């Protein structure tokens, strides 16, 4: 499914389908409220004890997610949601819930517990609707493989710096190398990998969100092991702690340049800017980036983190807070193109 097809899902059904009138809107308080800690929310999102097989989305699942994501972005701002949103979600094996985590509320679209197949989870902050642009979408595409990236992204989303405004958090719910038989086995093509399968619901949701809300800034957190080649056969320096990239082989963006400079100030010289200081781990084949390129005002930031840097952010709240504050401040600065 290419980005044009994803966009077509947003504007209505093909002519062979009847046009369905929009259902009435009701308060989001119609959804029961689940109070959760950040730790329990993480377990709910990733359910490490489950290892179901990968199943790709049907056309109806893609169409429904492409419609529900903009609806939930809107509902987080207006506090009203279409009355049939939860039944539409359930019809394609998803559930719509309202969580309260760290004192704030979130609308959550995720797989039904008994129908997990790698469809992803999509959270929208009610406390921080889109009040200004650019707005921030955190993503953790590989929480099982790039260890601790999910927890770091979730913490930055659930506990933003004072005055900052996260809008959404999208994450995969399956190991990137899970195959249709349930085995975890890296192959030439890995359909459960949301960054390399344009039909993945994670990509459908990303494009749907960015298409309806101007100046989306998508920040993906990834991880790498020192001395190991990336997917393109390139190897970062052994002492690299992070690679900051706009996903472009022809040069950095203004956003990636400013972020890299600030991270060097905070964490040292081994915060490397792709492709000027390092030619590996640039995320240039990322399908979310490919789709966002059709949207002139969407921005993309791909941050690869060494295991030691992920350890630092996981174990030292003050360093994690400094990392998050820098990213929030720079990514939402309207003066940075």
Q: What is the per-residue pLDDT across 279-309, written as a single tens digit (0 to 9) for each? A: 999 999 999 999 999 998 999 999 999 999 9
Average pLDDT over residues 67-91: 95
The CA distance from 67 to 63, in Å, is: 6
* pLDDT on residue 163: 76
Looking at per-residue confidence, does 297 or 203 come out higher?
203
pLDDT-derived band at 8 (thresholds 50, 70, 90) equals: very low
Q: Tell me the per-residue pLDDT of 154-177, one tens digit each, with 9 for 90 and over.
A: 999 999 987 777 799 999 999 999
Which of 313, 232, 317, 300 is CA-nearest to residue 271? 313
* pLDDT on residue 10: 47
20 inside domain: no
112 inside domain: yes
257 inside domain: yes
How high does pLDDT run on average in the chain? 90
Is pLDDT at 143 greater than 70 in this prediction? yes
Average pLDDT over residues 149-153: 97
Least confident of 75-89, 130-144, 313-327: 130-144
The CA distance from 22 to 160, in Å, is: 34
153 inside domain: yes
Percent of the chain surpassing pLDDT 70: 90
Residue 202 structure tokens: 């994670």
Instruction: Look up the domain containing 265 and give its range.
Output: 3-14+26-331
Is pLDDT at 16 greater than 50 in this prediction? no
38 inside domain: yes
* pLDDT on residue 225: 84
336 inside domain: no
CATH of the domain at 206: 3.40.630
* pLDDT on residue 45: 95
Give the number of domains in the chain: 1
337 inside domain: no
The CA distance from 97 to 28, in Å, is: 9
21 inside domain: no
Q: Which helix (H) or strand (E) holds 72?
A: helix 59-78
Q: Which helix (H) or strand (E) holds 273?
A: strand 271-273
* pLDDT on residue 39: 93
């Amino acid at each position: 499914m290419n980005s044009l097809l994803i966009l077509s899902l947003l504007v209505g059904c093909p002519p062979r389908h009847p046009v369905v009138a929009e259902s009435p809107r009701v308060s989001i308080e119609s959804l029961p409220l689940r109070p959760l800690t950040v730790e329990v929310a993480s377990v709910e999102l990733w359910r490490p004890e489950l290892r179901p097989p990968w199943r790709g989305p049907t056309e109806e699942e893609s169409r429904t997610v492409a419609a529900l994501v903009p609806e939930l972005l809107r509902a987080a701002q207006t506090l009203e949601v279409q009355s049939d949103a939860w039944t539409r979600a359930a019809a394609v094996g998803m559930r719509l819930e309202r969580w309260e985590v760290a004192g704030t509320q979130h609308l959550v679209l995720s797989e039904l517990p008994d129908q997990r197949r790698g469809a992803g989870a999509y959270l929208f902050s009610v406390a921080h609707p889109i009040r200004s642009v650019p707005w921030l979408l955190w993503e953790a595409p590989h929480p099982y493989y790039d260890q601790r990236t999910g927890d770091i992204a979730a913490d930055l989303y659930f506990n933003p710096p004072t005055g900052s405004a996260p809008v959404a958090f999208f994450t995969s719910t399956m190991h990137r190398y899970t195959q249709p038989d349930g085995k975890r086995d890296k192959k030439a093509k890995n359909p459960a990998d949301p960054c390399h399968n344009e039909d993945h619901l994670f990509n459908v949701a990303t494009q749907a969100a960015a298409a309806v809300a101007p100046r989306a800034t998508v920040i993906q957190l990834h991880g790498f092991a020192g001395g190991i080649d990336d997917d393109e056969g390139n190897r970062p320096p052994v002492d690299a702690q992070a690679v900051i990239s706009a996903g472009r082989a022809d040069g950095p963006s203004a956003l990636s340049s400013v972020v890299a400079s600030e991270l060097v100030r905070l964490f040292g010289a081994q915060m490397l800017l792709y492709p000027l200081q390092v030619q590996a781990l640039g995320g240039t084949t990322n399908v979310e980036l490919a789709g966002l390129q059709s949207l002139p005002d969407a921005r993309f930031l791909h941050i690869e983190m060494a295991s030691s840097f992920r350890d630092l952010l996981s174990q030292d709240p003050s360093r994690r807070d400094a990392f998050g504050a820098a990213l929030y401040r720079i990514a939402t600065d309207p003066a940075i193109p």
